[in-house]
Structure 1
Amino acid sequence: MSRPYSPPAEHRLLGIGLALAAYLMLTGIDSSAKWLGMIGISFIQIVFLRYAIHLVLVATIHLPRHGRTMVRSGNLRLQFFRALALLGATSCNFLAVQFLPLTVTGSIAFTVPLLICALSVPLLGEQVGWRRWSAIAAGFVGVLVIVRPGTDAFHPATLLSLAAALSTAFYLLLTRKVSSYDSPATSQFYVGIFATVFLLPVVPFFWSFPTSADGWFVFFSIGVFGFVGHQLITVASSLAPATVLAPFSYFQIFFLSAASWVIFNQPPDVWLYVGAPIVIGSGLYIWLRERRLAKPETVVVSER
């Protein structure tokens, strides 16, 4: 009986490097969305730009190679619901970053592994023991520490961030299912086409153009960040197992903190230093526990 394939160590290191580059690109998505909102671009237009530019890049790069096979899905219904979940996550997140620092929305996004673990019980019929349920509860205590409901620091946009995390969890669970039917290129195509077609009838009513050079740069770069980020994750996942890549997703908090501080002059407050480690620690515990139980894992991409 042959042993399962294990990528060489140098491939794993390259995979980790590409994954970190991907999380930097995803930070660029959030930063671009916040910047465009600050210069008066509607969040509906921002969401449309993110997916329309993504779609153009997917078609330009993958269509010549894959041809018609790229648009043939083995399960169109799953692709539709997957794209809808991602669109919901992106819309909620892009609206939330207009009101909250990137560090807060990013920390809440780290609840995605906790939500996946919890949702796997009713949706996938998996069993979750008391240890992981305790980690899930601890993670949400960390979120409460960060957002402090009932105080002047709490902003209702926090609920949008939580909705974005929940939608992302559904998206990743559906990604697990659809990966057995379609290639990554096909999945990327349907993510772009569904969102673009869905928003196309309404976006003209909210359309406006930037009035500065930096605004125009961000106007186009948001879709590029999204496309490149997901391409890098796809390649990284082929070079290193999910069990190796998963913990490195938490490095994104450093990218988000730097962007929030340097670009938007919103340094992390003291409660983030308390709550974020609790959330991250809970996610890492679940990762370790599921690795010990030899459960298949999905690299968490906090999709925008």
Structure 2
Amino acid sequence: MTATTAVPAQRNDSRLGIALMVLTTVIFSLQDGLSRHLAEATNVYMVVMVRFWFFAAFVVAMARAQQGSVRAAAATSQPLLQIVRAVLLVAEICVTVYAFTILGLAQSHALFAACPLLVAALSGPVLGEKVGWRRWAAIGVGFLGILVILRPGVAVFDPRGLIALAGALMFALYSLLTRFAGRRDSAATSFFWTGVAGAVAMTAVGMFHWEPMSAANWALMVLLSGMAITGHWLLIKCYDVAEASTVQPFAYLQLVFASILGVTIFGEALHPTTVVGAALVVAAGLFTLWRERVRRLKEPA
């Protein structure tokens, strides 16, 4: 008899994938709370810089473990695109953490929830993808939700909300550029460039904003960096064990967990318009994700 070795099929465990996504959103929410505290204690640039130092060390270690060498992990035919992606991400994180400090976690996340809608809206001009009328309708509903949150034209309009919205737009562009880079580079290559190029870019800025930190805040900084690494690792495992279309809707739980932290830890107040607007944005985002899944199922194999 001749023994044969079967190639294991990719795992598709929806329950485990959902559990990992929920755990990931909890960790990312705690990470956002720590980022807000540390940015208020020191400054945004220093917090993001130190966080990316740990992130870069993680991706270098992962590259050596999985691909044998840093050179193999860094091999790409589009280095400029990868650098632009990384710089855009560190800039987005700086903008978003700054929004946490001036706007709060709850309202910032309510506006950041528009990111999937912005990805859908920009996928046409950036990636050349077709956006049907149903997704455009969902984008319109999501935009209405954003207006409800921002309350333009009334006395309580807070222009600081535009900062959080700018962060969502930057992350949407980063996501689209990641998709574009994925046409020629592996996810591991893009991940490597995100960590290393991001750390270099952030160090070039952050070193000019260095401030001494207390031992307690350094401990929290290490904890924050560990959470960021753990969250990204769990996210990778999540997409490894389950389909993205199954687990992605549960990413919206980060809005819930972050809002709970904002209210209970930082004393934030949830305005009714924030809740209503966020509900509209999330509903529109979930519909957009569903339409994306339908579109992919219709595509020929």
- Normalised by the shorter chain, which TM-score bucket? 0.7 to 0.9
Q: Are 2:220 and 1:218 aligned?
A: yes
Distance 1:113 1:12, change over 3 A: same
Q: Are 2:264 and 1:262 aligned?
A: yes
Distance 1:92 1:112, change over 3 A: same
Number of the residue aligned with 2:201:
198
SS of the aligned residue for 2:23 comes to helix
Match of residue 124, structure 2, among 96, 121, 137: 121
Number of the residue aligned with 2:254:
252
Q: How far apart, CA to CA, are the structure 1 residues paired with 2:77 and 2:92? A: 24
Deviations, residues 105-141 of structure 1 (Å, cap 9, x unaligned): 1111111111111111111222222222121111011
Number of the residue aligned with 1:174:
177
Distance 1:132 1:57, change over 3 A: same
Gaps of 5+ in 2: 1-8
Number of the residue aligned with 2:93:
90
Report the alpha carbon displacement of residue 211 of structure 1 after superposing the two structures with TM: 2.4
Q: Are 2:181 and 1:160 aligned?
A: no
Report the alpha carbon displacement of residue 263 of structure 1 after superposing the two structures with TM: 1.8
Say how many residue pairs are matched.
Answer: 288
Q: How far apart, CA to CA, are the structure 1 residues paired with 2:116 and 2:109? A: 13
* Structural RMSD (CA): 2.1
Match of residue 109, structure 2, among 106, 109, 116: 106
Give the TM-score of the pair, scaled to structure 1: 0.87
Deviations, residues 64-89 of structure 1 (Å, cap 9, x unaligned): 44213122224322212221221221
Equivalent AA in structure 2 for residue 233 of structure 1: L
Distance 1:202 1:114, change over 3 A: closer
Report the alpha carbon displacement of residue 35 of structure 1 after superposing the two structures with TM: 0.3
Number of the residue aligned with 1:238:
240
Tell me, yes or no, if the aligned pair for 1:85 and 1:167 is still in contact at 8 Å.
Answer: yes
Q: How far apart, CA to CA, are the structure 2 residues paired with 1:97 and 1:132? A: 29
Equivalent AA in structure 1 for residue 111 of structure 2: I
Report the alpha carbon displacement of residue 151 of structure 1 after superposing the two structures with TM: 3.8
Tell me, yes or no, if the aligned pair for 1:31 and 1:259 is still in contact at 8 Å.
Answer: yes
Q: Are 2:39 and 1:20 aligned?
A: no
Give the TM-score of the pair, scaled to structure 2: 0.88
Q: Are 2:143 and 1:140 aligned?
A: yes
Number of the residue aligned with 2:64:
63
SS of the aligned residue for 2:55 comes to helix
Report the alpha carbon displacement of residue 38 of structure 1 after superposing the two structures with TM: 2.2
Report the alpha carbon displacement of residue 295 of structure 1 after superposing the two structures with TM: 6.4
Report the alpha carbon displacement of residue 6 of structure 1 after superposing the two structures with TM: 7.3
Q: How far apart, CA to CA, are the structure 2 residues paired with 1:94 and 1:208? A: 17
SS of the aligned residue for 2:137 comes to helix
Tell me, yes or no, if the aligned pair for 1:49 and 1:222 is still in contact at 8 Å.
Answer: no
Distance 1:267 1:139, change over 3 A: same
Number of the residue aligned with 2:276:
274
SS of the aligned residue for 2:191 comes to helix
Number of the residue aligned with 1:78:
81
Q: How far apart, CA to CA, are the structure 2 residues paired with 1:286 and 1:69? A: 37
Match of residue 134, structure 2, among 131, 134, 146: 131
Distance 1:249 1:119, change over 3 A: same
Distance 1:56 1:146, change over 3 A: same
Deviations, residues 158-216 of structure 1 (Å, cap 9, x unaligned): 22211111111111112222234334333222112212212323323211132252x22
Answer with 1 or 2: which has the greater Rg: 2
Q: How far apart, CA to CA, are the structure 2 residues paired with 1:202 and 1:125? A: 34
Q: Are 2:52 and 1:47 aligned?
A: no
Report the alpha carbon displacement of residue 52 of structure 1 after superposing the two structures with TM: 1.3
Deviations, residues 229-257 of structure 1 (Å, cap 9, x unaligned): 11111111111111101211111112111
SS of the aligned residue for 2:76 comes to coil
Tell me, yes or no, if the aligned pair for 1:48 and 1:203 is still in contact at 8 Å.
Answer: yes
Q: How far apart, CA to CA, are the structure 2 residues paired with 1:138 and 1:64? A: 45
SS of the aligned residue for 2:266 comes to coil
Gaps of 5+ in 1: 297-304
Equivalent AA in structure 1 for residue 168 of structure 2: A
Q: How far apart, CA to CA, are the structure 2 residues paired with 1:227 and 1:139? A: 31
Report the alpha carbon displacement of residue 149 of structure 1 after superposing the two structures with TM: 2.5
Select between 150-159 and 87-96 the one with higher mean Cα deviation.
Answer: 150-159
Select between 115-124 and 220-229 the one with higher mean Cα deviation.
Answer: 220-229
